[in-house]
Homo-oligomer: A and B are copies of this chain.
Amino acid sequence: MTTALILFAHGARDPEWASPMRRVQAAIRRRRPDLPVELAFLEFMAPTLADCAQALIAGGATKIVVMPMFVARGGHLKRDVPELLASLQAAHPGVELTLGEVAGEQEIVVQAMAEASLQTLGL
């Protein structure tokens, strides 16, 4: 089984917006140089989730984990993204597609946001 990771973010018109996602991608590549890890976007930026997943599958991925780089779980994550995943899954029944928990809901990220706030205050 060849596993790949997609960091899936909202996207914005400003190209600089994706900078934190590129830094997360670079941090993962430093720790796991063997793991394919790509960015994909819901709106405004390329590639889409479907294009990104198809490229990874064409490259041999048989398991893809999609990590939502969102601060919280709103309508996009409750409705649009599960629908996107379901249609991708239907198109690629031989691939294991998994949607991870939203970044901002993960305990390690919650604690990091608390720590970053206290650091900013100088506390």
Contacts and interface: CB of A to CB of B under 8 A. Distances in A.
A114 B27 contact: yes
B71 A9 contact: yes
Interface residues of A, number: 54
B120 A67 contact: yes
Contact of A23 (B7, B35, B69, B110): B110
Q: How many copies does the complex hold?
A: 2
A interface SS class: helix
A32 B108 contact: no
A94 to B, nearest CB: 19
Contacts of A20: 71-72, 102, 104-105, 109-110, 113
Interface stretch (A46-54, A73-81, A85-93): A73-81
